[in-house]
Structure 1
Amino acid sequence: MPRISLRGVVFEHGGHGPFPIPFDLDLEPGWTGVVGANGVGKTTLLRLLSGQLACARGSIRREHGPAIAVLEQTVDWSPALARQLARLEQDWSAKAGRLRSLLELGPLDPRRWNTLSPGERKRWQLGAALASSPTILLCDEPSNHLDVDSRALLLDALARYRGLGVIVSHDRELLDALCSTIVFLDEGGRVEQRPGNYSEAAAARGLERDHIRSRHALARKDERRQATQLQRARERQASTQRSLRVSSRKRDPQDNDASSMARKSRAEHAAASAEAGVRRKRSALDRARASVEALAVEHPSSAELFVDWEPPRKSVLLTLGPEDLPRYAAHPRVRLPEDRALSIGREDRIVVTGNNGAGKSSLLRTIVARAHACLDPARVLWLPQELDLDARRDLLVELAGLDTAARGRVLQIVGAAGGDPAALLRTPLPSPGEARKLALALGLARRAWLLVLDEPSNHLDLPAREAVEAMLASYPGALLLSSHDRRFVAGLSKTRWRAALTMADDPPPG
């Protein structure tokens, strides 16, 4: 039976690295999910498990059969991949036939590799990996950029795997369907393994963190109480010492009787008692502060982002009918039913569905063009699937041009979306994920009435997806989005409108 055991593992060089704190893991047959923010070491952990990297300290013991297969995040053509694919194509065994059928793999022309869809390339990559009958299968973001049909085929194939599987993913639906154990990686190098699928493990973790927050609040309250008592003890000590000095000055040098000696003794005892009280209170305060510092707590984001929301006066923001397409269509083949107009109300939650290539982005761009004609463009936020380098730089320029109050509001929203405002102010070019958070924050800060989002969870890690989802769930305006992340979409559904999009064979006349 395959197993991987990690004991006291540290991975860092020169004081830098994702895992400076020793950690243990026990991995057994079945699927283990690995989750965490971008940059915390998820891919590094996979490479440690595969043996591509060696730990600086500790031990990694692997008990497995003939093969470990690694499904890399990228599916670039390489000689090694070419050999694997050729073996799968030329293997006419029953097992290889079942794999090709399961993953819907047809004849492959290597010259067409770069023209295949992301889903087709990922299915071939997975088929080649499974064809080697690995006892350990390590997958890095296998569902990235896949449409609904490709994700379903991928999930079915992975669910049939009976070895030891480890999957790095931000896809909550995939993690829930496959995994019986979840490994959480936190910033600072903390590694935590919990039983259950992602939803179960995250819920248990959330309850534990709520308990930590409660303890943290009590510890802070005790710290404030001890600080107050220490201040009072110091005041009593100072008062006693003043009384002792006054008593000493008033005492007659010739007065040596028992009464005088008793007064002196009481004063000295009071001073000593006050000093001891100060020491006790200082010690209690130190313990209270240590308790606060020991309770690492993540403060929840502000839920008051939209308290000053200004709703539009009209209940229907825009209507798009077939007669509008010649003027606004983003693609000449976009069609709407002749008897149907699409309308967006001021509180609608609209999801555009369809496989890759169905024209979802073209429809969204068409609606944005129509919205700009019907509304103040500042009240419309358009977030495309990808932001190029110039667009990402322009976002920073827009942020820098705001006054202090407006910039502060944008950065508050960036923080609520799971971003790092301080890091954003330092960078000359935000990452694709940070740029998406900034674009969203700029639109929300100017109180956009309509958000049009094309794959809004692209480039967002799992914590950021959940933060953006929570923020958009409380957004009071109209939301139109396209996304293959079904959990993300489900979390945002207040009302749902499904549009069927058709693409005509030929452009319209004229």
Structure 2
Amino acid sequence: MALIYLQAENVNKSFGDLEVLSDVSLSLFQNQRTALVARNGTGKSTLLNILAGHDTPDSGKVTLRNDISVGYLPQEPQLDLSKSVLENVFNADDAISVAIRNYEKAIESTDKMALQHAIDEMDRLNIWDREQKAKQILSVFQLTDINQPVQLLSGGQRKRVALAAVLISNPDLLILDEPTNHLDLEMVEWLEDYLTRSQKTLLMVTHDRYFLDRVCTDIIEIDQKQVYTYNGNYSYFIEKRDERIRAKLAEIDRASNLLRRETEWMRRMPQARGTKAKYRIDAFYKLRETAQQKIHSNDVEIGVSASRLGKKIMEVHNLSKSFDSKVILNDFSYTFNRFERLGIVGANGTGKTTFLNLITGTLPPDSGTIDPGATLKIAYYRQGGMNIPEDVKVIDVVREIAEVITLANGKTITASQFLNNFLFTPDKQHTLVRKLSGGEKRRLYLLTVLMQNPNFLILDEPTNDLDIFTLNVLEDYLINFPGVVVVVSHDRYFMDKLVDGLLIFEGNGEISGFPGNYSEYREWAKEQEKSNAEQQTSSKGKTESKRPQPERKKSKLTFAQKKELEKLTDEIEKLEKEKKEIEGLLNGGIQDAKLLMDISNRFSEISKLLEDKEMRWLELNEFEE
């Protein structure tokens, strides 16, 4: 039987009048990898704080197995800024941490006696493997300068230091709050593999759905102050959660139908009621309680309109940017297309955010030009979040931008109604910004960006701190967004669902393109790595032959070319359909001169696009044959 590592019983927590946790009970067993799923503002981080022993509940209790060590990564980790990366990673006062710190310091010094003493201590404690493991983890997280003061690091780097410290401490139970935030895609994949292989007992909060699917064995959901447990990964959770909601709705529906009959009976019953009647009366009140239950979807409603997008979007010509000797962009050119869904990926520090700052005019280039279209209206969701005073009411933040918001259907609503669509209740709207949870602040920031009615939307790490349910709604909105979307994100699920092309920032100013989503790119990259390795092995083992070689057949399409061909086929079909529709409009005798001009311009644009795409389609098909 699996050992219970941690148990919470009837945990309650309030902050003033706000009840955050209500009678929460759960158990964590050895070797379970559990995710906690709930909407923003429902107390996920508060619960993790309590379970890790960093906070106390108002009532209820948390029991931890006596011989269990706990490693905790909070959403906003607190590091000693006066100390180095190494000192923060091995911050404990235990003999092992002290020995490793002394050894690393001795290597940096010229004191041979100190170095010998440090080596002897490492030998005595037999901790060489742990020191090597620590360096490996720090290297994966790009924290190679272990003596660098933490105060010189960015917020993302500090989060990685804290995560590395937790993993290196090798606890029995890991509690992680948003561990994938500030990790690039390769780091996320490494962490995914590490947690799966190490068979750690784990409790975490994360919005990364691929991570959830591949790492977790169990899901705990908090919904409307009720706790539900699912023994399976994220895909299983989605399936069973839908079943649970459908079953509950059916139960409420049956109760409502039965209630009508019982209400009629209650009206007809005489005053003198026997024992049987009393039993039925009690059942009536229970039935009414069931029938009056509400299943709130609590889904964000994003129905914001977008400004009209003209023919010309944005053209980037020979753009270059460096910081001292570090090259970010080198003579880079790109033309954005209408309704493009572009993802930007690359390791941290390769210039993704710098590129966004350049095309939005936030940062000047060293050379090159950025030529925006006349109708272009950019909205930029920044990784750092919004820059507003914390002591301002939520409603005032929105009213500062607009009192009235236009929706996609042409209707207008007030700032308060718009906030309500984003799950800010009237009470919450009059709360100060500083009292919001991290996820609620990000949701508020998102709505302030979208209410600008942009037609060119830039999202830099939009998935950080947003709950899974909000992300699902945001994805559906962006898929149908009538403009250009440019996304930087480490969330593979988000990228796969949304983008149809990638810019890959490879470092040193090198940028390449890929016609597909992130998973397709990774598959192609692995094929390339495998092919290169095979070619190197083959070239080493071969000796030159003087015999004439048979003529080689044409190479087949690469994975990227196959994806390009599939995409072209789909695009040509859509353009031909639109062309026929426009021909019908032009033959219909349009009276409006401006509308006629717009339609004619679009017809010319489609004709040119079709010509280019059909030419490329023929090239690829000839190559394939």
**TM-score, structure 2 normalization:** 0.60
Aligned mate of 2:189, from 140, 152, 166: 152
Which residue of the partner structure matches residue 366 of structure 1? 358
| 1:85-123 Cα shifts (integer Å, max 9, x gaps) | 655454552243234325427765545223345665455
RMSD over equivalenced CA pairs, Å: 4.5
State the partner residue of 2:309: 312
Q: 1:390 to 1:331 in 2, by over 3 A?
A: farther
Per-residue CA deviation, residues 150-187 of structure 1 (Å, 9 max, x unaligned), is 32343333333334222232332322222101122335
Superposed, 1:29-178 pairs within 5 Å as 29-53=31-55, 55=57, 58-63=60-65, 65=67, 67-78=69-80, 81=88, 83-84=91-92, 87-89=99-101, 90=103, 92-104=127-139, 109-116=146-153, 121-122=158-159, 124-178=161-215
The superposition leaves residues 414-462 of structure 1 with CA deviations (integer Å, 9 ceiling, x where unpaired) of 5555x31525531354756545444544554564322111222233233
Pair 83,492 (structure 1): closer, same or farther in 2 beyond 3 Å: same
Task: Give the superposition deviation at 1:209.
Answer: 1.2
2:242 counterpart residue number = 206
What does the per-residue CA deviation read over 1:319-357, in whole Å, with 9 as the maximum and x for residues that have no partner? 3232xx48xx8999653656x532221x21111111222
Decide whether aligned partners of structure 1 residues 386 and 136 sit closer, same or farther in structure 2, where only a CA change above 3 A counts: closer
One of 487, 508, 520 as aligned partner of 1:481: 487
The residue number in structure 1 matching 2:317 is 321
- When residues 219 and 122 of structure 1 are mapped into structure 2, their CA distance, relative to the original with a 3 A threshold, is same
Q: Which secondary structure does the structure 2 equivalent of 1:312 belong to?
A: coil
Cα gap change, 1:478 to 1:77, in 2 (>3 Å): same
Structure 1 residue 297: deviation in Å? 0.6
User: 2:322 & 2:374 partners in 1: Cα distance?
Assistant: 18
Cα 1:459–1:301, aligned 2, differ >3 Å: closer, same or farther?
Answer: closer
Q: 2:503 aligns with which of 493, 498, 503?
A: 498
- Does the residue aligned with 2:150 lie in a helix, a strand or coil? helix
Partner of 2:343: 351
Structure 1 residue aligned with 2:382, among 371, 381, 384? 384
Q: Per-residue displacement from partner, 1:211-258 (whole Å, max 9, x unpaired)?
A: 3234445555666x569x859x98xx9xxxxxxxxxxxxxxxxxxxxx
Structure 2 residue aligned with 1:9: 10
Larger RCO: Structure 1 or Structure 2 (Cα < 8 Å, ≥ 6 residues apart)? 1
In structure 2, C-alpha distance between the alignment counterparts of 1:309 and 1:122, rounded to whole Å: 36
SS of match in other structure, 1:183:
strand
**Alignment correspondent of 2:216:** 179
Q: Secondary structure at the match of 2:490?
A: coil
- Answer whether contact 2:176 2:205 (CA < 8 A) is retained: yes
Aligned equivalent of 2:291: 292
- Distance in 1 between residues matched to 2:159 and 2:450, nearest whole Å: 36
Determine the C-alpha separation between the residues in 2 that align with 1:284 and 1:62: 41
In structure 2, what residue type is equivalent to 1:312? L
Match of residue 193 from structure 1:
229
CA contact (8 A) 1:4 1:28 kept: yes
Question: Separation in 2 of the partners of 1:107 and 1:385?
Answer: 24
Cα distance change of structure 1 residues 302 and 30 upon mapping to structure 2, 3 Å threshold: closer
Indicate yes or no: 2:417 matched with 1:425: no
CA distance in 1, matches of 2:347, 2:39: 28
Q: Hey, what's the Cα distance between the residues in 2 that align with 1:24 and 1:154?
A: 26
What SS is found at the alignment partner of 1:6? strand
The CA distance in 2 between the partners of 1:473 and 1:205, in whole Å, is 24
* Greater mean deviation of Cα atoms: 352-361 or 135-144: 135-144
Per-residue CA deviation, residues 7-32 of structure 1 (Å, 9 max, x unaligned), is 64333469865333252424332311
Runs of 5+ unmatched residues, structure 2: 104-121, 362-368, 511-625
Q: CA deviation at 1:195?
A: 0.9
Distance in 1, matches of 2:405 and 2:479, equals 28
Could you tell me which runs of 5 or more consecutive residues in structure 1 were left unpaired when the two chains were aligned. Answer: 238-270, 506-510
SS of 1:353's partner is strand
Q: How far does residue 504 in structure 1 lie from its aligned partner after superposition?
A: 5.1
Q: Does 1:28 align with 2:30?
A: yes
- In the alignment, the residues of structure 1 paired with residue 356 and residue 164 of structure 2 have an alpha-carbon distance, to the nearest angstrom, of 34
Q: 1:201 is aligned with what amino acid?
A: F
1:64 and 1:136 in contact (8 A); partners too: no
Alpha-carbon distance between aligned partners in 1 of 2:194 and 2:283, rounded to the nearest angstrom: 59
Q: What's the CA shift for 1:384?
A: 1.8
Structure 2 distance, partners of 1:373, 1:451, is: 14
Q: Secondary structure at the match of 1:467?
A: helix
Name the TM-score, length of structure 1 as normaliser. 0.71
Asked whether the 8 Å contact 1:100–1:127 carries over to 2, the reply is no
1:408 pairs with 2:413: yes
1:204–1:113: structure 2 CA closer, same or farther, 3 Å change rule?
same
The residue that corresponds to 1:470 in the other structure is 476
Instruction: Answer whether contact 1:395 1:435 (CA < 8 A) is retained.
Output: no
Which range moves more in the overlay, 394-403 or 473-482? 394-403
Task: Identify which range, 424-433 or 194-203, moves more after superposition.
Answer: 424-433
What percentage of aligned pairs have identical amino acids? 22
Deviations 1:189-228 (A, max 9, x none): x2222111223223311221133234445555666x569x
Amino acid at match of 1:485: D
Distance 1:434 1:46 in 2: 17
State the secondary structure of the residue aligned to 1:25. strand
